[in-house]
């Protein structure tokens, strides 16, 4: 069937084929602008775009199809109960159904195997690695190679500050888990993941805190807890439930009356968005897992506090609305990650989210010139939580990050320490944040 | 605000739900089915499958379950789901074709008519007519892009063709439909 080689219309310019991608918003900003400019001078293309727009309007305005029936019961009826958790049946107990002569069974098995291999190959065929996937793979390899024997990642070796060893180890662990899903137990980085988890558990204090009580303890603790929660999910290791539970208790214990979290040696006792968001991310993931019911009130209280930081214009302040000691974009992206993921089921969140969403659109459309990996990570997470309308903006950020990575030499696969926070987190931070940004979204 | 008694599957992403399904969590699978059943049924209906749409959607979910352990969330979940759905439909068409061939071979006109009736029927709306006027390869691209909301890149993964081919098919599909509207 020659569907791709239809006869061309009589008088169209060579650029008319771009019209379909243009009306479907499939062109990058620059190409779309160039085509729009061309269209103003080319009546052929303008007419094609007009015609396509009318077709699309007709297709999109079609009456809705009949409501879908619920298929759950019918689908479940076709799956043996033994396939579900806790219903496993021993191999010996299964009845032998086939009672054909041996040669027929062997022949049938052979045919089934051939078909099975074909189907599995078809369904699991992977598209060729894109630059983004390649960058993620190389980042995993670099992080794995830079891990210490102890399981930690050393800040000093990579231009970071020693007091953030816990958070950097948490970030690197989170990255290996995020970039290599379903491979925590058997994949190429399973051992790295295990060593990092063992290291973090060994650093945990009686009160649940990961590491010493430095000024930045809540950063260290929040990031490490998020990473440990993901490790628990990825490995299903029941031994992690207790330390993670204690870590969550520490977050609850350190929650301020206002509902947020702040520096522990801050006499003002005020919470700030930057520290609070990491704790909320941990509580949100824990709530999803449904294993610790006592964190739910704390999570809701924290979300309410965060809602209170959102200004009328949707931008999110540091200690109160419109409080921007440095800038508003990263704080807004951080808060949006939590608020948009929480959905609109919580009371009052719908209105807040609509303001945050507007602000996020503005932040996404003006990415700025300076590299900031922390900003990129939270913006990518927020855009991903914001839904498909943000996919193009997310793709732009990821494209920039892919272009910025180191592609040769000893540090190939990592990102250079070129942003404001590099003096704190060093190369482990830049690489983890950039790689996790690439993981976000579709 | 109510407290949850177990995992809050509703708030999990598709990728997270698949990870739970791999661990044998039935409720996670139920959540996935409910989340995507409507979209999947409409996918088949928009491609012109009417009477068998529910069967095909069920088969798709069964294959999704069967291949759950092989799912690698490097691509979007819906891309994986529609890749399976498309294969389920291709298998059905092959089966119908075989029956059609057999019917012709044995000159069983009644059965051939049944095949005809099941897969092809009179379009109910102008839009149905427009879609059905397209060759199958173009119709797939239009349905995946316009009704299922997949981007060109994702469609290229579902169909296993380069993005350029998706672009070209979409262009020719829109042009065919435009010409058809002009003739009215």
pLDDT confidence of residue A442: 64
Closest CA to B143 of B113, B105, B173: B173
What whole-number distance in Å separates Cα of residue B128 and Cα of residue B148?
A: 16
Mean pLDDT over residues B41-67, rounded?
Answer: 91
Residue B112 above 80 pLDDT?
no
Is residue B143 a contact partner of residue B46, using CB atoms and an 8 Å limit? yes
Are B4 and A287 within 8 A, CB to CB?
A: yes
CA distance A377 to chain B (A): 18
What whole-number distance in Å separates Cα of residue A250 and Cα of residue A263?
A: 14
What whole-number distance in Å separates Cα of residue B163 and Cα of residue B153?
A: 6
Which residue of A55, A133, A341 is in closest CB contact with B178? A55
B145-158: pLDDT as tens digits: 999 999 998 898 88
Is residue A140 a contact partner of residue A179, using CB atoms and an 8 Å limit? yes
Residues 6+ apart with CB under 8 A from B111: B99, B102, B103
Backbone angles phi, psi at A54, to 5 degrees: -70, -40
Q: What is the reported pTM?
A: 0.62
Helices (H), A12-128: 18-23, 29-41, 43-60, 72-77, 102-124
**How many contacts, defined by CB atoms under 8 Å, are there between A and B?**
184
Are A1 and B137 within 8 A, CB to CB?
A: yes
Identify all chain B residues contacting A234, using CB atoms and an 8 Å cutoff: 19
Q: Tokens 């690695």 belong to which residue?
A: A129
Residue A369 above 90 pLDDT?
no
Question: Hey, what long-range contacts does A419-424 have (CB within 8 A, 24 or more apart)?
Answer: A419/A370, A419/A371, A419/A372, A419/A373, A419/A374, A420/A370, A420/A372, A421/A372, A421/A373, A421/A374, A422/A159, A423/A159, A423/A161, A424/A160, A424/A161, A424/A164
Is residue A303 a contact partner of residue A321, using CB atoms and an 8 Å limit? no
pLDDT confidence of residue A98: 39
What whole-number distance in Å separates Cα of residue A51 and Cα of residue A39?
A: 13
Residues 6+ apart with CB under 8 A from A214: A163, A220
Which residue of A72, A234, A346 is in closest CB contact with B33? A72
Closest CA to A340 of A306, A301, A295, A367: A306
Q: What proportion of chain B, given as a percentage, has pLDDT over 90? A: 40
Q: Which CATH architecture has domain B123-184?
A: Orthogonal Bundle (1.10)
A388-427: pLDDT as tens digits: 778 888 888 999 999 999 999 989 999 999 998 999 999 9
Domain boundaries, chain B: 123-184
Name the band, by pLDDT with cuts 50, 70 and 90, for residue A353: confident
Domain boundaries, chain A: 14-60
pLDDT confidence of residue A128: 60
Residue A148 above 70 pLDDT?
yes
Torsion sign across C-alpha atoms A91, A92, A94, A95 = positive
pLDDT confidence of residue A104: 67
pLDDT confidence of residue A17: 84
Give the side-chain half-sphere CA count within 13 A for A426: 21
Is residue A253 a contact partner of residue A295, using CB atoms and an 8 Å limit? no
Return the DSSP state at A4: T
What whole-number distance in Å separates Cα of residue A252 and Cα of residue B33?
A: 35
Backbone angles phi, psi at A92, to 5 degrees: -65, -30
Identify all chain B residues contacting A293, using CB atoms and an 8 Å cutoff: 3-5
Report, in angstroms and rounded to the nearest whole number, the Rg of chain A calculated over CA atoms: 26
Mean pLDDT over residues A166-180, rounded?
Answer: 94
Concatenating the DSSP letter of every residue in B16-79 gives: HHHHHHHTT-HHHHHHHHHHHHHHHHHHHHHTT--TTHHHHHHHHHHHHHHTGGG--TTS-HHH
What whole-number distance in Å separates Cα of residue A179 and Cα of residue A182?
A: 10
Sheet strands (E) in A166-325: none
What whole-number distance in Å separates Cα of residue A25 and Cα of residue B151?
A: 9
Q: Which residue of B has its CA nearest to A6?
A: B172
Are B171 and A4 within 8 A, CB to CB?
A: no
Are B3 and A17 within 8 A, CB to CB?
A: no
pLDDT confidence of residue A129: 67
Are B167 and A17 within 8 A, CB to CB?
A: yes
Longest dimension (CA), chain A: 83
Are B178 and A54 within 8 A, CB to CB?
A: yes
A185-239: pLDDT as tens digits: 778 899 999 999 999 999 999 999 998 888 889 999 999 999 999 999 888 788 8
Report, in angstroms and rounded to the nearest whole number, the Rg of chain B calculated over CA atoms: 19
Q: Is B133 on the interface with A (CB under 8 A)?
A: no
pLDDT confidence of residue A126: 54
Angle at A86 between CA A83 and CA A91, to 5 degrees: 55
What whole-number distance in Å separates Cα of residue A366 and Cα of residue A272?
A: 25
pLDDT confidence of residue A346: 63
Q: What proportion of chain A, given as a percentage, has pLDDT over 70? A: 87
Identify all chain B residues contacting A127, using CB atoms and an 8 Å cutoff: 75, 156-157
pLDDT confidence of residue A28: 79
A67-113: pLDDT as tens digits: 888 999 999 998 888 888 765 443 333 333 434 455 566 666 777 77
Q: What proportion of chain B, given as a percentage, has pLDDT over 70? A: 80
DSSP bridge partners of A333: none
Q: What is the pLDDT of chain A when averaged over all its residues?
A: 85
What whole-number distance in Å separates Cα of residue A284 and Cα of residue A281?
A: 5
pLDDT confidence of residue B95: 77
Other residues' Cβ atoms within 10 Å of the Cβ of residue A144: 17
pLDDT confidence of residue A89: 41
Name the band, by pLDDT with cuts 50, 70 and 90, for residue B164: confident
pLDDT confidence of residue B104: 61
Are A300 and B151 within 8 A, CB to CB?
A: no
Q: Which residue of B has its CA nearest to A48?
A: B175
Q: What proportion of chain A, given as a percentage, has pLDDT over 90? A: 48
Is residue A438 a contact partner of residue A136, using CB atoms and an 8 Å limit? yes
Which residue of B11, B33, B87 is in closest CB contact with A343? B11
Are B135 and A233 within 8 A, CB to CB?
A: no
Burial pattern A242-258, b for ≥16 Cβ within 10 A else e, equals: ebbbbbbbbbbebbbeb
User: Token pair for residue A275?
Assistant: 């520290």
Burial pattern A194-207, b for ≥16 Cβ within 10 A else e, equals: bbbbebbbebbeee
Angle at A56 between CA A54 and CA A58, to 5 degrees: 70
Which residue of B3, B157, B171 is in closest CB contact with A20? B171
User: Cα–chain-centroid distance for residue A419?
Assistant: 22
pLDDT confidence of residue A234: 85
User: Cα–chain-centroid distance for residue A434?
Assistant: 12
């Amino acid at each position: 069937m020659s569907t791709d080689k239809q006869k061309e219309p009589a008088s169209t310019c060579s650029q008319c084929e771009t019209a379909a991608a243009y009306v479907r918003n499939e062109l990058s900003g620059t190409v779309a602008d160039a085509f729009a400019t061309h269209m103003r001078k080319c009546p052929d293309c303008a007419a094609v775009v007009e015609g396509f727009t009318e077709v699309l309007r007709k297709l999109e305005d079609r009456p809705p199809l009949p409501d879908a029936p619920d298929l759950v019961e019918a689908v479940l009826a076709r799956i043996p109960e033994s396939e579900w958790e806790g219903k496993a049946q021993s191999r010996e107990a299964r009845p032998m159904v086939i009672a054909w002569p041996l040669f027929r069974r062997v022949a049938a098995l052979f045919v089934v195997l051939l078909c099975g291999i074909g189907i599995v190959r078809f369904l699991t065929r992977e598209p060729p690695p894109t630059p983004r996937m390649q960058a993620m793979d190389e980042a995993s390899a670099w992080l794995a190679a830079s891990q210490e024997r102890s399981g930690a990642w050393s800040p000093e070796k990579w231009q970071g500050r020693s007091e953030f060893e816990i958070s950097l180890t948490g970030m690197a662990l989170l990255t290996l888990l995020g970039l290599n899903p379903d491979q925590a137990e058997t994949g190429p980085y399973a051992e790295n993941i295990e060593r990092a988890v063992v290291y973090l558990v060994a650093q945990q204090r009686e009160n649940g805190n990961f590491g010493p009580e430095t000024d930045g303890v809540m950063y260290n603790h929040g990031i490490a807890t998020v990473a440990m929660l993901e490790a628990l999910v990825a490995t299903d290791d029941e031994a992690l439930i207790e330390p993670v539970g204690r870590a969550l208790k520490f977050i609850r214990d350190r929650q301020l009356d206002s509902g947020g979290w702040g520096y522990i040696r801050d006499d003002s006792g005020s919470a700030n968005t930057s520290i609070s968001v990491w704790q909320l991310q941990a509580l949100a993931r824990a709530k999803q897992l449904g294993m610790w019911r006592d964190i739910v009130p704390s999570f809701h209280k924290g979300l309410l506090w965060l809602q209170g930081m959102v200004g009328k214009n949707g931008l999110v302040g540091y200690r109160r609305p419109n409080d921007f000691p440095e800038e508003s974009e990263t704080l807004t992206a951080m808060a949006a990650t939590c608020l948009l993921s929480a959905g609109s089921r919580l009371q009052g969140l719908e209105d807040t989210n609509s303001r945050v969403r507007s602000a996020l659109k503005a932040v996404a459309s003006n990415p700025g010139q300076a590299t900031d990996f922390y900003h990129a990570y939270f913006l990518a997470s927020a855009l991903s939580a914001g839904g498909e309308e943000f996919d193009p903006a997310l793709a732009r950020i990821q494209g920039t990050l892919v272009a910025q990575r180191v592609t040769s030499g000893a540090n190939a696969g990592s990102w250079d320490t070129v942003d404001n926070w590099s003096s704190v987190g060093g190369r482990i931070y830049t690489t983890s944040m950039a790689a996790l940004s690439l993981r976000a979204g579709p | 605000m109510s407290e949850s008694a177990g995992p809050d599957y509703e708030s999990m992403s598709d990728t997270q739900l698949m990870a739970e399904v791999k661990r044998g969590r039935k409720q996670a699978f139920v959540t996935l089915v409910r989340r995507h059943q409507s979209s999947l049924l409409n996918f088949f209906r928009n491609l012109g499958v009417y009477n068998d749409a529910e069967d095909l959607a069920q088969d798709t979910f069964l294959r999704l379950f069967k291949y759950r352990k092989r799912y690698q969330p490097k691509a979007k979940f819906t891309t994986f789901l529609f890749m399976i759905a498309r294969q389920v439909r291709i298998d059905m068409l092959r089966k119908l074709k075989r029956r059609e061939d057999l019917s012709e071979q044995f000159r069983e006109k009644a059965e051939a008519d049944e095949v005809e009736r099941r897969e092809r029927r009179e379009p109910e709306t102008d839009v149905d007519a427009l879609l059905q006027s397209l060759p199958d390869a173009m119709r797939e691209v239009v349905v995946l892009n316009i009704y299922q909301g997949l981007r060109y890149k994702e469609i290229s993964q579902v169909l296993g063709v380069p993005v350029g081919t998706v672009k070209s098919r979409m262009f020719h599909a829109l042009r065919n439909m435009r010409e058809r509207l002009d003739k009215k």
